[in-house]
Amino acid sequence: MKYFIIFLVFICTAAALFAQVPLPEHQFAEGTWSFTGQRLFQNNERSGLAKMNLRAAQEGPMLYEFNVRYENGLEDGHGGFGLHIFMDSAYDGRSWGAGNSYLLWLNYDEDPISSDIPEGLSFQVYRSRTNSIMDLVESFDLNEHLPCIEWEDILNPVPVKIRADGDTGEIRVYDPSDPDLLDYYYFFLDSGDLPLRGGWAALRTNGLSLSFGIGY
């Protein structure tokens, strides 16, 4: 399996060596992104389409690992973040989609504009066709987990671990409440798109300021 420590392998390198080594090709395409110490920040909580592209070859089984921490936002009752994977191209401007790719999206919305999006906490899978066209593939209601989440939980780094198999379409999203990150939820992408290959990935936020780092 190929391990893709998303966007963040180079943060520690840059911090430790004061950017004396070249970073992998990346684009701060929308939002206000910056490195502070060993963390990557998206500082504009009003940006609805914040996006950072990173060139990364992806095929077969991939493992995406990082942690995320809440910094600001949610005052309007809406916010989310996610990961575009297996992107065939990258656009360095404002966009809804991201070429041919899949977007895995964690969403909180107290008043969703679509009946396909559950009110409250949910998880969506989108199929991106172009930079302006994305289709909702699946939506999962996660509100049963809300009573277990304390405010302090999101003020500390929360582990994210996702296994995506470009050959079979299986996606495993590991349970961050499991200290060993062994338990997971799984689903399958459309078999008509397989095998999935890509040269880019993108980290995205909507209505939130978040920071990202390595490890659990």
pLDDT of 109-133, one tens digit each? Answer: 999 999 999 999 999 999 999 999 9
Q: pLDDT category, 23, cuts 50, 70, 90?
A: low
DSSP string for 84-145: EEEES---SS--SS-SSEEEEEEEEESS-SSTTSPSEEEEEEEEE-SSS-EEEEEEEE-GGG
Domain ranges for the chain, please list them: 2-213
pLDDT at position 95, please?
A: 96
- Half-sphere exposure (Cβ direction) of 73: Cα atoms closer than 13 Å: 24
Q: pLDDT category, 8, cuts 50, 70, 90?
A: very low
pLDDT at position 31, please?
A: 96
Angstrom distance (rounded) from CA 100 to CA 97 = 8
pLDDT in tens, 150-190: 888 888 999 999 999 999 999 999 999 898 999 999 999 99
Asked if residue 216 has pLDDT above 70, the reply is no
Tell me which fold the domain 2-213 belongs to: Jelly Rolls (2.60.120)
pLDDT at position 121, please?
A: 96
Give the position of tokens 């994977």. Answer: 85
Q: Are 99 and 92 in contact (CB under 8 A)?
A: no
Angstrom distance (rounded) from CA 200 to CA 54 = 6
Asked if residue 21 has pLDDT above 80, the reply is no
pLDDT in tens, 60-110: 999 998 899 999 999 899 999 999 999 999 999 999 999 999 999 999 999
> Between these two residues, 11 and 47, which has the higher pLDDT value?
47
pLDDT in tens, 45-58: 999 999 999 888 89
